[in-house]
A = this chain, B = another copy of it.
Amino acid sequence: MSPASPRNQLLYGTLDLLILRTLVYGPAHGHAIAGHIQRVSENALRIETGSLYPALHRLEARGWIAAEWKTSDKGKRARYYRLTRSGRRQLVVEQSRWQQLSVAVTRVLRPAE
């Protein structure tokens, strides 16, 4: 019941981007996606299940990913997501948005003087 301060973890608004980017490597289920992001970021980014699944559902609802029930490596049933064509386009959009904004923030932090 403690406060869910959004400053504890993610950068707020970057989760969709991270998921889309991860799916470039091929279809994966939720657990695996979160694990991949955590590993590649060297534990800097930890995605909670309460963020992960809503994000997957919203990406699917927007048509950027598509899902299918399968059996995971460990023999458990899992929902595999893959990038759709429009998801690939969205990835480009979000990636350039991130690029632009992060450069802008950095510029404010270290002005060219």
Interface residues of chain A, those whose CB is within 8 Å of chain B, are: 6-7, 10-14, 17-18, 21-22, 37, 40-42, 44-45, 95, 97-98, 100-109, 111
Contacts and interface: CB of A to CB of B under 8 A. Distances in A.
Contact of A13 (B6, B42, B111): B6
A108 B24 CA distance: 11
Question: For chain A, what secondary structure do more than half of its interface residues adopt (helix, strand, loop), or is it mixed?
Answer: helix
5 contacts: A7-B97, A18-B108, A37-B108, A44-B100, A44-B103
A107 B12 contact: no
A86 to B, nearest CB: 17
A66 B45 CA distance: 33
